[in-house]
Every structure is written in C-alpha cells, then in structure tokens.
Chains A and B, each alone.
Chain A
Amino acid sequence: MTVALRAEWTKLRTSPGTAWLLLAIVALTIGVGAAAAATITCGAAGCPEDPAKISLTGVQLGQALVVILAVSSISGEHATGMLRVSLSAVPNRLRLLTAKALVVTGAIGAAGLVAVAGSFAAGRLLLPGSGFTEAHGFERLSLSEAAVLRATAGSVLYLVLIALVALGLSTVVRETAASIGLLLALLYLIPLLTQAVSSPSWKRHLQQITPTAGLSIQATTKLSSLPLTPWQGVGVLGCWAVGSLVLAAVVLHRRDV
C-alpha cells in the first residue's frame, strides 16, 4: 500500500497542472472571501448576516477547482489509457483507488487548510471595517469561539469531501468533460433549481439531500433556520463521498479497462 501511495503522490506532484490548481484554489478562495468581507456591510445593530459564513464565501467557488483537480487525477488516466499502465503496476484496483483517494485528500486538505485559514484571517481583518463591530453586536472573528472554529475547520473538511465525491463519480463516468459537468451541475445547478421549487417542504427536502447541504457547516448564526444542523449537513456530504467511492470501487473492480 505504501508503494502505491508513494507512486500516486509522485504522479500528482509531477503533473504540471497540480501546483497551479492548488495555488488557484488558495488564491480564489481567499480572494472571494476577502471581497465578500469587504463589500457586505452591516449598517446597524441586529443585521442578519453571518460574519463567519461571509469570510468563508470563497469556498463555494474554490470547490469548482477542487472538482477539476480531483476529476483529472483519474479521468486523465482513462482518456490516455494510462490507467492500464497504472493497473499493470498496481493490479489491485481497490488499492489503486484507495491510494488515489488518500493522495487527493492530502493535497486538498493542505490547500484547503491554507485557503480557509487565509479567508479567516482576511475576514478577521476586513469585517470590522464593513460594520461588523462590537457596536453592532459582533465580536471580532475568533477561533476561540466554538461555532467559528467549527465553521472554519468544517470548511476544510467540506472541500476534502467534495474532492472525494468528484474522484468517485469521475471514476465511474470516466470522461473528463462529462465528469466535471456532472459535478458542477450537482454543486451549482441543482441548488439553483432548488431555489425555484415553490413548495417549501419539497425545497427543504431537496436542500437536505444534495452535496451542498455540507455548506451548513459554515453557519454560526440562526442555526434553527437551516434545513439541517451543521454536522448533519456534513454527514450528508460524507454519505455522498462514501457512496461515490464505494460505487467507484465496485465499477473499477468489475470493469475491463
């Protein structure tokens, strides 16, 4: 297993796109978070915004790049036929998939940690200037506050789980463009369409079962209005990740490559 892991790490590290993508995940996530923290303002006491969530807004865009990195780690091999070379080196398919999942987890975990930490720092710095002050009833963003710590650490976990969903589904789908299309639809199109559902209970049910339910981990205020509690939301995403990987393992095990 360790040699398979080392090989996958070498593979990821020597793909020229990887470093740029990881850098872009960090830059985009922090950039969007900082922009949100600087532009969303609180004019008076009792404004409805959630400052921790604002500072972590970039995660919603960063996840698109996470999807691209995770998808290309397997679909590129399908497209070129390199998967056959990989499987001739590591014939145990479950082992190969596990190694890929661990390497993607490590890379996205590290990039996600930097991205989320940067977003938090930018929020802490910029939010008071946007009116999130003690006068308006907001403490300065701090990790010593349990909900803020949960939102921040949970955002890293969210990105990792999104990467695993992407890895699993693209292993099944094989084709790069189709995989990215499917994932972006799950992450952006479905939530958008859900907004258009008129029945409130249907809307709530849909919000509870899509992968983006995991974003509820970012909420620190008005938790009762969420479709799911923060950890339940991450749990739903976790089920997506496990389900995708199990499906990928079954398909990969059975398929002629």
Chain B
Amino acid sequence: MTVQNIVVDGLRKRFGSKQALDGMSFTVDAGRVTGFIGPNGAGKSTTMRVVLGLDRPDGGTALVGGHPYRTLPRPLTELGSLLDASALQPSRTARNHLLWLAHSQGLGVRRVDEVIELTGLGSAARRRAGGFSLGMRQRLGIAAALLGDPRTLMLDEPFNGMDPEGIIWMRGFLRELAQQGRAVLVSSHLMSELQDTADHVVVAGRGRVLADTTVAQLRATISDGRVSVRTDDPNAAAALIAAGAAVVATEPGTLSVTGLPAPAIVAALNARQVVFSEVTAHRATLEEAYLELTRDAVEYRAGEVAR
C-alpha cells in the first residue's frame, strides 16, 4: 500500500467570523507537481499552516507520510516547506540561517553547502539575508525546504517577487523535483504561473476544494464547444442552421457556432460549397477555466465595494 505524501481530510478552521477552512480535503501524490490554486482568502495558506501544525484546525486531519506533522522526529527530512520567504532574521547571513536549520535536523554544514549550490545562491549565501531581494529570499526558502532531502515539498506562492528568469528557473526546478519522485505542492493565486508546471490542480475557494483534477481535464470541462467560422459567404449561416447548429453573427465576416463539432461544421460547409477562410474550435484557457470555477468564491471583487 502506498502512503500518500500529504492527506488533508475535512479541515475546518474559523478565525472570528470568517470560516477560513470549510471541509478542505485533497491528497498530494508522489512524482508530480500539484498546483494549489485559488483566489486570495481561499484558505490555501491556512491549509498549509495546519499541515505544518502551526495552526490547530477546528476539525479534520492533516497527515504527512501518514503521521501528524507534530509527531515527526526530524520533520524537515519528511516535508520541506516554504510559507513566507521573508520569515528570517535579517541580520543573519543566508548560510547561517541554513546552518541552524540543518543543526535542528542533525544535519551538518556539508548539506548546507549542497543546497546553496543546488539553488544557485552561490556567494550571496555569505551576505545578510535582510539585504536580499524577494526573488533571492525565495531561493533561500527553497534551499531551506530542500535541506532535509524530503520526499515532499510544500511551497506557498514561490513565484512571488521573482523576475522572469527566476520564474523560468523555478518552473524547471519544480518539474525536476517531481521527476525525482517527490511530491510537490505549490500554491498560487495565478493560474498562468502554474499551467506549464503543474500536472495536477486542486482549485480552492472559500475554504474548500472546487476542483481536483488534471490540467488537461480542467481545460476540457470548461471548453464550451463554441466554434468560430470566418466566411463572407451569405449562405453560410443558412447552411449551418440546416445542419442543426445554432449560429450567431458576432462581427462582420465571423459566425459563432454552437451545437456542432468543428469537423461536422467543415463537412456541412463543404457540402453546400460555402467558401470559408477559417474554422476555429474555441478552447478555454486555463485562466478562463479557473475564473469560471472560482467566480462565486472570490472574496473581494471590484464593484462589491459600492454595495
């Protein structure tokens, strides 16, 4: 029997009048990057804090490798995490920050130098971490998460503050970690940051899971079957309606067609010898899929202020 790397089951947590977690449940499996996506306030960070035993849930359980995090004897060798890249003492050097963390797990200075190398911190590691850019702090946070060579990684918004070069590095790095057989959970409030990185997505909103699926499936479920047809032929609409489609002229020379798949549309147009220049099946982008899913779960939205 395989033990899932992280199992979050029915987590509930209330902060004052706000239900931060409302039955959050999902698993994080080995060998893939799981994206944890949702608007601000969806409960992503709270879930991660509960997994680490920092916040106590009102109900539900969170297990890491089958055990509550608090009971792990050397937790960083099981789960490496990065919640807040700025959570360090600014006057301490990056290397010394990693050194005390290493000592807390019974690891030595050699492992510290390894993760410095691995994350490309290089000579900056001997500088005070307080002077680091957010991007450099993220690298330091990743280095800290990797210290214990854990089989599970959990990163909260690791792309924040990174320059484009850093983002590309981070994407490749996360994929590589998953290819090594590790489970990687990465949160983001932007789908675009994860669409080339995550294999699996858990979409959260208002403290619970809205969708738990693969990236490809998420795209497919939202795709609404609209097809655009570019043609100047006045008979086009009639030909398509005769074939059983619903047609709307969206702009001059373009028809939006529903009710017929693209190959059937091409066949219908050819049968009536209608000339067309383009037939495009409309595919929802992941961003659109995500917005569709979370539409009702967004907590703060422009316009609501006026209510």
Which A positions have Cβ atoms within 8 angstroms of B? 3-4, 6-11, 14-17, 76-77, 80-82, 84-92, 256-257
Contacts and interface: CB of A to CB of B under 8 A. Distances in A.
16 contacts: A3-B74, A9-B103, A16-B92, A17-B91, A80-B89, A84-B49, A84-B54, A84-B87, A88-B54, A88-B69, A88-B75, A89-B104, A89-B105, A90-B104, A256-B54, A257-B54
Nearest to A11: B100
A85 B55 contact: no
Contacts, number: 85
Contacts of A82: 87-89
A-B CB proximity, top 7 nearest: A7-B104, A81-B87, A14-B96, A10-B100, A89-B104, A256-B55, A91-B70
B68 to A, nearest CB: 9
Contacts of B87: 80-82, 84-85
A84 B49 CA distance: 9
A84 B50 CA distance: 12
B89 A92 contact: no
Which bucket holds chain B's interface residue count?
20 to 34
A88 to B, nearest CB: 5
Interface of B: 49, 52-56, 69-72, 74-76, 81, 83-84, 86-93, 96, 99-101, 103-106, 144
Contacts of A3: 74, 103-106
Contact of A80 (B54, B72, B83, B90): B90
- Mostly helix, strand, loop or mixed at chain A's interface? helix
Given A88-B83, A256-B55, 6 more contacts: A3-B106, A16-B92, A87-B54, A89-B104, A256-B56, A257-B54
Contacts of B99: 10, 14
Contact of A76 (B53, B89, B96, B144): B89
A256 B15 CA distance: 11
A91 B75 contact: yes
Nearest to A3: B106
A76 B96 CA distance: 16
A4 B75 contact: no
